[in-house]
Amino acid sequence: MASPAPSPAAPLLAFATITVLVSAAAACSAADRDALLAIRAALSEAHLGVFSSWTGTECCTNWYGVSCDPTTGRVADLTLRGEAEDPVMAPAGRPASGVMSGYISDAVCRLDRLSSLILADWKQISGPIPSCVATSLPYLRILELPGNRLTGEIPQSIGSLSRLTVLNLADNLISGAIPCSITSLASLKHLDLTNNQLTGRIPADLGNLAMLSRALLGWNRLSGPIPTSLGSLTRLADLDLSENKLTDAIPDSLGSGHVLTSLYLGSNRISGRIPASLLQNKGLGILNLSRNAVEGSIPDVFTNQSYFMVLDLSRNRLTGTVPRSLASAAYVGHLDLSHNRLCGSIPAGPPFDHLDAESFASNSCLCGGPLGKCK
C-alpha cells in the first residue's frame, strides 16, 4: 500500500544515471595516462605519427593502440603493431612496415592492470625487456614483443605471470638461458622464442605446461637433449626446435603426442634412431629431421593412414632400405631421403609416382623408381 507509484521522471532519471556511468567508464586513470606518456617518450616513430592521437586526457577512447577496462578506466591493452593494416599504418605501404626506435620504458610496469602488451614488428626497438614486467603485471595474458632488436635476457621471474597464455619474443637479439621459472606458466598456450640468441638447455620440465599447443624455439643456440617431458603435453600441436645445437636421441615419448601435427628438428646434432612411434603417429603431417646425425634404419611402420605433407629425413646417417610400407601411405607430398646411407630398391607405389631423383640422391646404393632400373 505504501509503495509509491513510479514518478513520470523515473525513466529520465535512469537514463541520466546510465549516461553518467558511461562517461565515467570512458575516463582514463590519470596515473595510467602519465605512464603511457612516459612509454611514449622512450619510443620514437618518425613517419606515421602512430602517437599523434596520444594527446588530451581521454586515453581510453581516443589514443591509438590503447584500450581500457570500461568499469575502472584502467589501461588493459596496449597494442602497437608495425605491420598492422589499420588506417594509421596506411602510409607505411601494404603490407605495412613501420619502424620505431627507442626502448621499452619501465613505466610500462605502472600499468598494473595490463592484460595484453603488444609491441610487434617495429624492427628498431632495442634495450632489454624491463624485468619488472614479470613482477608488476599480474593480470598479463599476452606478451608479444617480436620483430624488434631487444637484447638482454628473458626476465628470470617470468614464471610469476600466472595468467600468461601467449609469450612471443621471436625475432629479437635476446640471449642467456630460458629461465626455469617458465615451467610454472600454467596457462601458457603459445610460446614463441624463435630466432634469438638463447643458449643453454631447454628446461627439462617444459612438459609441465599442460596447456601448451605451440612451442617454437628454432633458430637459437640451445644445446643438450630434447626434454622427454615434452611427450606428456597432450595439447602440443606444433613443436619447432630446428636450427639449434640439440644433441642426444629423439625421445620416444614425442611420438605419442595425440594432436602433434608438425615437428621440426632440422639442423641440430641429434643422434640415435627414429622412434617408430613418430612415424606411426596418425596426425603428424610435417616431420623434418634433416641435417642431424640420426642413424639406424627407417622404421617400417607406415600405414594407409600415414599422411605426410613433408617427410624430410635428408642429410643424416640412415642405413638400410626405403621401408616397403611407405608405398602404402595415403599421401606423401614432399619426401626427402637424400644424403643418407640407404641401399636397395625404391618401392613402387602411388606415393612415389610424383617424386624425382632428388628425393633419393646421394645414398649408398639405392636404385629403382626415379633412379632407374636396379642392375
Summarize as ranges the residues that interact with ligand NAG (CB under 6 A): 242-243, 266-267, 288, 290-291, 304, 310, 312, 334
Closer CB to ligand NAG, 144 or 312, in the complex: 312
- The answer to whether the CB of 138 falls within 8 A of the CB of 115 is no
Closer CB to ligand NAG, 45 or 240, in the complex: 240
Shortest reach from residue 137's CB to ligand NAG, in Å: 35
Closer CB to ligand NAG, 15 or 331, in the complex: 331
Q: Checking DSSP bridges between strand 43-44 and strand 100-103, what pairing results, if any? A: antiparallel
Closer CB to ligand NAG, 37 or 309, in the complex: 309
Among all chains, which residue has been given the C-alpha cell 601458457?
Answer: 188
Shortest reach from residue 325's CB to ligand NAG, in Å: 10
Longest distance between any two alpha carbons in the chain, whole Å: 109
Closer CB to ligand NAG, 77 or 300, in the complex: 300
SS3 assignment, position 142: strand
Shortest reach from residue 250's CB to ligand NAG, in Å: 14
Residues 6+ apart with CB under 8 A from 331: 306, 307, 308, 309, 351
Shortest reach from residue 289's CB to ligand NAG, in Å: 8
Strand-pair partners of 286: 262, 310
Shortest reach from residue 197's CB to ligand NAG, in Å: 17
Closer CB to ligand NAG, 310 or 361, in the complex: 310
- Would you say the C-alpha torsion 323, 327, 330, 334 has a positive or negative sign? positive
- The answer to whether the CB of 56 falls within 8 A of the CB of 24 is no
Q: Checking DSSP bridges between strand 190-192 and strand 214-216, what pairing results, if any? A: parallel
In angstroms, the CA 182 to CA 179 distance is 6
Helix, strand, coil in percent for the chain, rounding step 5: 25, 25, 50
Query: E-assigned strands of 292-342?
Result: 295-297, 307-312, 317-319, 331-336
Q: Cα torsion for 121, 127, 132, 138, to the nearest 10°?
A: 10
DSSP type of residue 299? P
* Closest residue to ligand NAG in the complex (CB): 266
Closer CB to ligand NAG, 7 or 353, in the complex: 353
Closer CB to ligand NAG, 115 or 290, in the complex: 290
Q: Please give the radius of gyration of the chain, using alpha carbons only, rounded to the nearest integer.
A: 27
In angstroms, the CA 231 to CA 220 distance is 22
Shortest reach from residue 328's CB to ligand NAG, in Å: 8
Shortest reach from residue 329's CB to ligand NAG, in Å: 11
Shortest reach from residue 337's CB to ligand NAG, in Å: 12
Q: Cα torsion for 155, 40, 145, 29, to the nearest 10°?
A: 80
Shortest reach from residue 315's CB to ligand NAG, in Å: 8
Closer CB to ligand NAG, 162 or 304, in the complex: 304
